[in-house]
Amino acid sequence: MIDVILPVLDERDAIPFVVGAMPSGFRAIVVDNGSTDGSADLAASLGALVVPEPRRGFGAACWAGLNTATSDVVCFMDCDGSLDPADLTRVSGPILENKAHLALGARIPTAGAWPFHARIANRALGVQLRRKYGVALLDIGPMRAARRSDLFSLGLRDRRFGWPLEMVVRAAEAGWTITEVDVPYHRRKGRSKVTGTVRGTLRTVSDMRAALR
């Protein structure tokens, strides 16, 4: 069984699809980060393991999920319906086959799925990552897989939106093999609280730049 950590903040519209589409052999761990729309109760009713994390922050939710997970290999993905859980089998493959230490899903967007400002910000961070650490990535994607014990060894500290980039930076510093697997990226269900707005994108970029420093 592979645990899949799903940070959640008011994702009721997407939860039935995400939890219901989990591939065989994958367990959904929904980390509720203060939802007010009944997301936690809905996820529990659909069979997901629900973990409350009252401290707000994407990284805080991911960290709580990582501490709850028990599987050797763990996955992370957004719970907004933009990613298909079926692709977890391909993203986790390089880890299970010992071909990489960290596997990232590189998003291939469908029409209108990825706001232009968010895409540009992601590309700019990728350029800085390549210049500073020599890691060439197309995307700092939210769907990813690694061994749980390896992640703990990185000493991840960010509890906000810098978490995804900090993981990559610390992995690069540790000499990990990092690989990417293309995954389709669809329109999310509901309103984005992060990259769906320019303000949210700027806040995320600020956190990620701190991770680069």
- Please name which of 166, 178, 189 lies closest in space to residue 58, comparing C-alpha atoms: 166
Contact 21, 85 (CB under 8 A): yes
pLDDT tens, position by position, 9-28:
999 999 999 999 999 999 99
pLDDT of residue 185: 95
Report residue 135's pLDDT band, with 50, 70 and 90 as the boundaries: confident
* pLDDT over 60 at 48, yes or no: yes
In the numeric block, which tokens belong to residue 164?
Answer: 């995804």
Report residue 44's pLDDT band, with 50, 70 and 90 as the boundaries: very high
**Position 25: which residue type?**
G
pLDDT of residue 72: 98
pLDDT tens, position by position, 53-74:
999 999 999 999 999 999 999 9
What value does the mean pLDDT of the chain take?
Answer: 90
Rounded to two decimals, what is the model's pTM?
Answer: 0.89
Given 3-state DSSP classes, what are the helix, strand and coil percentages for the chain, each rounded to the nearest 5? 40, 20, 40
CA distances from 112 to 26, 105, 116, 185 (A): 29, 19, 9, 10
pLDDT of residue 133: 85
Report residue 211's pLDDT band, with 50, 70 and 90 as the boundaries: low
pLDDT tens, position by position, 72-83:
999 999 999 999
pLDDT of residue 177: 97
pLDDT tens, position by position, 161-193:
889 999 999 999 999 999 999 999 999 886 655
pLDDT of residue 124: 78
Contact 5, 76 (CB under 8 A): yes
* pLDDT over 70 at 204, yes or no: no
Q: How far apart are the first and last CA of the chain?
A: 36
CA distance 4 to 19: 10
Report residue 199's pLDDT band, with 50, 70 and 90 as the boundaries: low
* pLDDT over 80 at 117, yes or no: no
Superfamily of domain 2-212 in the CATH hierarchy = Spore Coat Polysaccharide Biosynthesis Protein SpsA; Chain A (3.90.550.10)
